[in-house]
Chain A
Amino acid sequence: MIIMAKSDNFKDHNKIAEENIVCGESMKEYLEPRFECPICLTWLRDPVLTSCGHKFCSQCIYTWLQKEGACCPVDGKSLKSESDLFRDLYTSREISQQRIPCLYQQFGCETKMSPVDMEAHINECTYKQSFPDSQIIYCSFKNVGCMETFHNEEDLHAHLEQNINIHLTMMAKILPQLSVLKNNVNAVAVESKLWDPPPKNTMEKNEPPLEWQQLLKNLYERIVVLEQQSKELSITVSNQKTQLTTLQTSLQCCQEEMFLRSCNGVYIWRLPSFHEKLESMMKDSLKMFYSPGFYTSPNGYKICARINISSKEPEFLSLLLHIMKSDNDDGLDWPFNGTMYFVLVHPYNWEKDIREITSSRPDLEAFRKPVCELNKRSFGYTEFVRIQDLPDFLQNDCLIFRIEVRVYDKFRTPI
């Protein structure tokens, strides 16, 4: 009996010792470098030893050596897959003797196995469940009272960017408390110095805590980044402003051009502040006013009107038309052939309008294809209206002419 009991005890001791060993092995958190493949950074699978003394998974090193001129990934010595690689059964055996805990240990699985068996076990492990998406990340300003948490870095960054003011306020609130605290610490330190032997190595106590330094540093960094960003943005904005102004101007030009092109030969010429214009013409007998060039149709003739004081009869105002050069000219018939209506519009009573109609004459130079910007010769009425009659036609000091130019349509057969 006694002997039996002794042997039982002995067995128990043995068992405990054995368990400790297994436990000690399995508690290793990180992979030992000698069991790690430098290519995939996991446990060596079917380890292979190279002639230069490095170990790799067989699949990893063979895949690598398929590349042209590939050398040892660790030291760059040339390797031939047929002669420089050897199966490393020794390491293979050592790995199969390692014991590591199941991947789902935290969910209750207590199985321990060699890395070689891990894959098979994981597939049938009854404790298998998915891990939470990611660890919870706390706001960097947790220490000053921001209790926000995040699941990824992006959310944290967005939060940091949006809440700079709130974080700064939190810091400002906590700073005075901190200095009070520091004073207390100093007071305690001074008191304790009376009792304690002098410290062996005097530490700098005025330095703010390390995490605060880090926090400040982060803040400075953010400020620099933000300043840079705002600088870049303001440059972009000012560039876009200039672009917008140019665009607006060109748009305005385009609209005017569009209007002049699509007026179908009917142009209402408004002459605001006419008195001023009249005076300048009186002073200088060569002074003339031109209307913008308008078109008889979008692809038709370009024409402008002109007024000036008649050189022969100074009490008359002349109203004349010039044919202008345009891109359409090559596709048009020359000399110009059509009818022109000249109307000085009476502001209140259309019966008092001054109206004149005339047709073009092929023999005149004025109707030939222009060779310069504006045909030198014009056509119209040199004595269109008496200057003394003009005030009757003014409304708000604005004079209005209507010019209508109709091109003779040779395709329309008279009925």
Chain B
Amino acid sequence: MANIAALRIQREFKEVIRSEEVAKCAIKVELVNDSFTELKGEIAGPPDTPYEGGNFVLEIKVPETYPFNPPKVRFITKIWHPNISSVTGAICLDILKDQWAAAMTLRTVLLSLQALLSAAEPDDPQDAVVARQYKEHPEMFRQTAKHWTYVYAGGPAKMPDLDDKIRRLTDMGIEEHNARVALSSYNWDLERATEQLFS
């Protein structure tokens, strides 16, 4: 790893650790290896969103050309959001692509991601299925996102009726996560989800 990248990450690491957001448990960064090339980030779901109360883990890979190129960031915790792939966790955010600036830091990236959770951009989607639901059935989207937060990110809101529908499918031998994806994608319409799974 180029020296400047490692040195900068070391400094940034201290910055994140010192920052007040950490004190409020809103963001967190941990080392994965000794060479500062891989980090594990964590952000809290922002209040007044379906993600509230959830903890989202991120994989951060620092390229050798950092900070001249952005870090590669991806959600490890599964999440239902128009700008985040529900399959791979890939993120569609301009500052992680062409709008990156060398003066940005891990702290600003994590805070931007938190802001993205508060304000989705359905017109520039990463996950088209989620984005369509977000626009056409906003309440359904909220419920689904809340449910995913509960299941994968330790969120507070358990939803027995949604769990029930999933159980109906798992009883048929469908793997639980696949059942959840199918139901979420079809606005929790059990019949259509079943049709899609068995077609």
B residues near A63, Cβ cutoff 8 Å: 68
Bound-state Cα–Cα, A76 to B68, Å: 14
B residues near A228, Cβ cutoff 8 Å: 152, 154
B residues near A235, Cβ cutoff 8 Å: 175-176
Does B102 lie at the interface of the complex (its beta carbon under 8 Å from any beta carbon of A)?
Answer: yes
Bound-state Cα–Cα, A38 to B55, Å: 30
- Taken residue by residue from 17 to 31, chain B's Cβ proximity to chain A (1 for < 8 Å, 0 otherwise) reads as 000000000000011
Say whether B68 contacts A41, CB under 8 Å: no
Say whether A73 contacts B102, CB under 8 Å: yes
A residues near B104, Cβ cutoff 8 Å: 73
B residues near A67, Cβ cutoff 8 Å: 68
Contact A73-B8, Cβ < 8 Å, known A63-B68, A228-B154: no
- Taken residue by residue from 119 to 146, chain B's Cβ proximity to chain A (1 for < 8 Å, 0 otherwise) reads as 0000000000000000000000000000
Say whether A40 contacts B4, CB under 8 Å: yes
B residues near A76, Cβ cutoff 8 Å: 101
Interchain CB contact (< 8 A) of B68 among A38, A64, A152, A242: A64
- Taken residue by residue from 48 to 64, chain A's Cβ proximity to chain B (1 for < 8 Å, 0 otherwise) reads as 00000000000010011
Bound-state Cα–Cα, A221 to B156, Å: 12
Does B87 lie at the interface of the complex (its beta carbon under 8 Å from any beta carbon of A)?
Answer: no
Interface size bracket, B side: 20 to 34
Does B67 lie at the interface of the complex (its beta carbon under 8 Å from any beta carbon of A)?
Answer: yes
B residues near A40, Cβ cutoff 8 Å: 4, 7-8, 67
Bound-state Cα–Cα, A63 to B2, Å: 14
The chain A residue with its CB closest to the CB of B155 is A224
Q: How far in angstroms is the closest Cβ of chain A from B31?
A: 6
The chain B residue with its CB closest to the CB of A68 is B98
Q: How far in angstroms is the closest Cβ of chain B from A113?
A: 20
Bound-state Cα–Cα, A142 to B194, Å: 52
Q: How far in angstroms is the closest Cβ of chain B from A404?
A: 45
- Taken residue by residue from 80 to 115, chain B's Cβ proximity to chain A (1 for < 8 Å, 0 otherwise) reads as 000000000000000000000111110000000000
B residues near A224, Cβ cutoff 8 Å: 154
Say whether A71 contacts B12, CB under 8 Å: no
B residues near A41, Cβ cutoff 8 Å: 7-8, 11-12, 15, 105
Say whether A153 contacts B30, CB under 8 Å: yes
Say whether B176 contacts A38, CB under 8 Å: no
Interchain CB contact (< 8 A) of B11 among A42, A153, A239, A242: A42
Say whether A71 contacts B31, CB under 8 Å: no
Contact A39-B31, Cβ < 8 Å, known A63-B68, A64-B68, A225-B154: no
Bound-state Cα–Cα, A225 to B77, Å: 12
Say whether A38 contacts B103, CB under 8 Å: yes
- Taken residue by residue from 252 to 289, chain A's Cβ proximity to chain B (1 for < 8 Å, 0 otherwise) reads as 00000000000000000000000000000000000000
Contact A39-B11, Cβ < 8 Å, known A64-B68, A153-B30, A228-B154: no
- Taken residue by residue from 64 to 78, chain A's Cβ proximity to chain B (1 for < 8 Å, 0 otherwise) reads as 100100011110100
B residues near A153, Cβ cutoff 8 Å: 30-31
The chain B residue with its CB closest to the CB of A220 is B154
The chain A residue with its CB closest to the CB of B57 is A225
Say whether A71 contacts B68, CB under 8 Å: no
Bound-state Cα–Cα, A174 to B196, Å: 56
Within 8 A of B (CB), among A135-192: 152-153
Within 8 A of A (CB), among B1-58: 4, 7-8, 11-12, 15, 30-31, 55
Say whether B102 contacts A38, CB under 8 Å: yes
Bound-state Cα–Cα, A152 to B34, Å: 10
The chain A residue with its CB closest to the CB of B30 is A153
Contact A64-B102, Cβ < 8 Å, known A40-B8, A224-B154: yes
A residues at B contact (CB < 8 Å): 38-42, 60, 63-64, 67, 71-74, 76, 152-153, 221, 224-225, 228, 235, 239, 242
B residues at A contact (CB < 8 Å): 4, 7-8, 11-12, 15, 30-31, 55, 67-68, 101-105, 152, 154, 173, 175-176
Return 5 A-B CB contacts under 8 Å, by A number. A38-B102, A63-B68, A76-B101, A224-B154, A228-B152
Given A39-B103, A40-B8, 11 other A-B residues pairs in contact with their CB atoms under 8 A: A39-B102, A41-B7, A41-B11, A42-B7, A64-B102, A73-B102, A73-B104, A74-B101, A153-B31, A221-B55, A235-B175
Q: Which 7 A-B pairs have the closest CB atoms?
A: A73-B103, A38-B103, A73-B102, A73-B101, A224-B154, A41-B11, A39-B102
